[in-house]
């Protein structure tokens, strides 16, 4: 075999190996995502204590060895399910706070982003409410820091509005705590209505877009100096 043929053979072997490694990495990423999606449903339906890694693996269509390849424990899976949402919301909040625009426009954008991300993860509200109601026993310092990052971004938006003379003097933390719970409750209610198939009075459906506009108007009214 000539040197040129040897070189070509080696190149083909290396190319095949790289493609195989790429496929394995892609499959690993896919399996990780499937595990997190399955875990989100499991935790939202059963709570942390009753959730089982067997059911998560089955729902994700992976074996438990693959689950523990990605995550060392059930708690680690749980924390990543929560962190993914909080991390995304925090990133969007920070970008809005640091970007151009008036404080009112930024608040509208923040509320819209929060509702949008919650709507994309209908399981999140029930997980968060259950965790907080039980004293947040499964959260760690890193998760709380991510949650604090969200608050700090909202605080900065409120501070901008106060500097500009548009927002009245309010406690940023209490304002943040006034905004968050209605959004969580709205999405928990959406699941209750879907499961109970109720349509009247308290269970009368409301579109997500209508709720977002309502929250935006409520937050503006709460903060405006002339309200």
Q: Which residues pair with 126 in a beta bridge?
A: none
The CATH number assigned to the domain holding 11 equals 1.10.10.60
Total domains, the chain:
2
Instruction: For residue range 197-220, list pLDDT tens digits in order.
Output: 767 888 888 899 999 999 999 999
Average pLDDT of the chain to the nearest whole number? 90
pLDDT tens profile 35-58: 999 999 999 999 999 999 999 999
Domain shared by 67 and 130, yes or no: no
The two three-digit tokens of residue 182, written as one number: 């209605």
Backbone angles phi, psi at 211, to 5 degrees: -65, -40
| pLDDT average, residue stretch 180-199 | 86
In the predicted structure, residue 7 carries a pLDDT above the cut 80: no
Domain of 32 in residue numbering reads as 1-71
146, 87 Cβ separation under 8 angstroms: yes
Whether residues 162 and 186 fall in one domain: yes
Whether residues 116 and 6 share a domain: the answer is no
The answer, yes or no, to whether residue 20 has pLDDT greater than 50, is no
Same domain membership, residue 185 and residue 116 = yes
Given a cut of 70, is residue 22 above it in pLDDT? no
Share of the chain above pLDDT 90, in %: 78
Query: What confidence tens digit (pLDDT) does each residue in 134-163 have?
Result: 999 999 999 999 999 999 999 999 999 999
């Amino acid at each position: 075999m000539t040197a040129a043929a040897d070189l070509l053979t080696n190149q083909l072997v290396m190319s095949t190996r790289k493609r195989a490694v790429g496929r394995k990495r892609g499959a690993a990423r896919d399996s990780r995502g499937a595990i997190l999606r399955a875990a989100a449903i499991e935790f939202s339906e059963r709570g942390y204590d009753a959730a089982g890694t067997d059911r998560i693996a089955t729902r994700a269509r992976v074996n438990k060895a693959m689950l523990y390849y990605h995550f060392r424990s059930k708690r680690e899976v749980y924390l990543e399910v929560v962190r993914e949402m909080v991390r995304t919301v925090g990133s969007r909040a920070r970008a809005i706070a640091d970007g151009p625009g008036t404080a009112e426009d930024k608040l509208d954008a923040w509320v819209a982003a929060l509702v949008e991300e919650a709507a994309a993860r209908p399981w999140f509200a029930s997980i968060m409410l259950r965790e907080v109601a039980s004293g947040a026993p499964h959260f760690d310092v890193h998760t709380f820091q991510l949650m604090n990052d969200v608050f700090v971004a909202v605080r900065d938006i409120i501070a901008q509005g106060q500097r500009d003379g548009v927002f009245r003097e309010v406690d940023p933390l209490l304002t943040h705590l006034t905004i968050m719970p209605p959004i969580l409750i709205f999405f928990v209610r959406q699941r209750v209505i879907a499961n109970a198939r109720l349509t009247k009075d308290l269970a009368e459906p409301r579109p997500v877009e209508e709720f977002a506009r309502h929250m935006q108007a409520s937050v503006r009214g709460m903060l405006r100096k002339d309200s």
